[in-house]
Amino acid sequence: MPFEDLKPEVSKILVNKNNTVTERLQLVCQLLKDTINYYDWVGFYFRNGSKEELKLRTYVGEKTDHEIIPFGKGICGQVAVSNKNFVVPDVQAQDNYIACSITVKSEIVIPLFKDGENIGQIDIDSNTPDPFTEQDERFLEFVNQEVAKIL
Ligand code: SME
């Protein structure tokens, strides 16, 4: 399904107040993983209170040990401080990287802003090398903007 067709599906899930916010985030993770064949792990991390660390809120894909990630550590921790998208075509080429699974080849992390503040991120791992384009970035920015509206 092209990204333009996915956008209304994402919005529909997020505005459905019959589910809790965490349930809605989980459904978005599931939709993205099920629909985009190179999205193998999809999760949302958020800042853990006022601590300088990220906490995993919800995800789909292989179980991970990395529920807490300190700011600055790994791709996710770097995005928490840079406030910038981070596209990694080849995770093995990264020094500051936290491996979740040996099958992962690439990763994309997009910060999530609420009222201009970087409060979390969507993180996607792929078992395909170098699959992400600017279209992924624009789509995931849209997803995060929609999420910010319900937080
Ligand atoms: N690879 C990430 C850690 C999170 S897992 O991908 C779920 C990183 O380097 O920050």
One pLDDT digit (tens) per residue for the chain, 151 residues: 689 999 999 999 999 999 999 999 999 999 999 999 999 999 999 999 999 999 999 999 999 999 999 999 999 999 999 999 999 999 999 999 999 889 999 999 999 999 999 999 999 999 999 999 999 999 999 999 999 999 9
Q: Show Cβ contacts of residue 5 under 8 Å, excluding neighbours closer than 6 positions.
A: none
Residue closest via CA to ligand 1's atom 2 equals: 98
Query: Residues near ligand 1 with C-beta < 6 Å?
Result: 41, 43, 64, 66, 69, 74-77, 97-98, 100, 107, 123, 125
